[in-house]
Structure 1
């Protein structure tokens, strides 16, 4: 039994590594590992980042739900909250605004040899993780449990089958990306 489990975990890790390398390749080829591209996104003058990430969300959302439907993967969700969403958004937003990279793009930028991403990004992620871990007990008891959501997933929240929600979300994101492509804001 343990040999089979170990074999499956090894395959999962290898697939995860390969998919991660592929995603990093797509980020780099899409231009979103460039500091200038990200800054222009923040200034709302270049929507490359939204286009690449929106496409990644569509592919990932459909892929995850397809693999789950086929029984290839099993995952669990946890209940979120308004407090955890606010803390997560603040940490991500402050880091993104200060550095000009998000965690995914900083990894891609490090991979292409950008020293600012290595020093500022990797070191910043480690320091930020350490600070969050240090204050986690206080944050967890006072903030993360504020207004816990009534459902773990959007389909559960709106009482619709998962595939209907996946298709509707994919169409909405694709429509928004098409709008960005055809209209200059």
Structure 2
């Protein structure tokens, strides 16, 4: 059942990616040049809706949170590799699959790069486990735990920031 829900969620997300036009190469490049905020608005909306949904379900006892350990070096290195790949390919992993589904054959190179990168990571993981992946390890901690405050004030503040960003971007025509 979880896999069916995941499939349905993925199809809906892909549909929204397509309707939001974030699969278009021009939008990707426009975002990287800070001339088009469509992608950041789309993802910020997804993050805000996700935060509210997950914490609502958690508050109602419908789900348990499964927090991953914070490993600063791994996050920084992974983010740099992700950004470099996105800049070279013009797609991130999700948008590359969506673009291929739309018939943009050149997106296959981004998908192949993603698969090669994942395979390479799996191969070198044992060597990284006790080195890079342990640098700056803070364990399983959330921002509310780090700040010593409940989650909801942070969610409300983040959502307010998001709305402010949306208003600013629309006024600027981004």
**TM superposition score category, shorter chain reference:** over 0.9
Q: Once the two structures are superposed, what CA deviation does each residue of 1:16-52 show, in whole Å capped at 9, x if it has no partner?
A: 2212111111111111101111011111111111111
Flag as ranges the 4+ runs of structure 1 deviating above 3 A.
Answer: none
CA contact (8 A) 2:67 2:140 kept: no
Displacement of 1:13 in angstroms is: 2.0
Q: Once the two structures are superposed, what CA deviation does each residue of 1:53-102 show, in whole Å capped at 9, x if it has no partner?
A: 11111111111111222222223112212111112112211111111111
Partner residue, 2:147: 158
CA distance in 2, matches of 1:69, 1:15: 21
Alignment gaps of 5+ in structure 1: 1-9
Which of 142, 165, 168 is the equivalent residue of 1:176?
165
CA contact (8 A) 2:20 2:42 kept: yes
> Under a length normalisation based on structure 1, what TM-score does the superposition of the two structures give?
0.87
Which of 98, 107, 118 is the equivalent residue of 2:97?
107
Count of residues in Structure 1 that have an aligned counterpart in Structure 2 = 174
RMSD of equivalent CA atoms: 1.6
Displacement of 1:136 in angstroms is: 1.3
Which of 117, 120, 129 is the equivalent residue of 2:118?
129
Which of 39, 42, 62 is the equivalent residue of 1:49?
39
Partner residue, 2:11: 21
Which of 128, 146, 155 is the equivalent residue of 2:135?
146
CA contact (8 A) 2:25 2:90 kept: yes
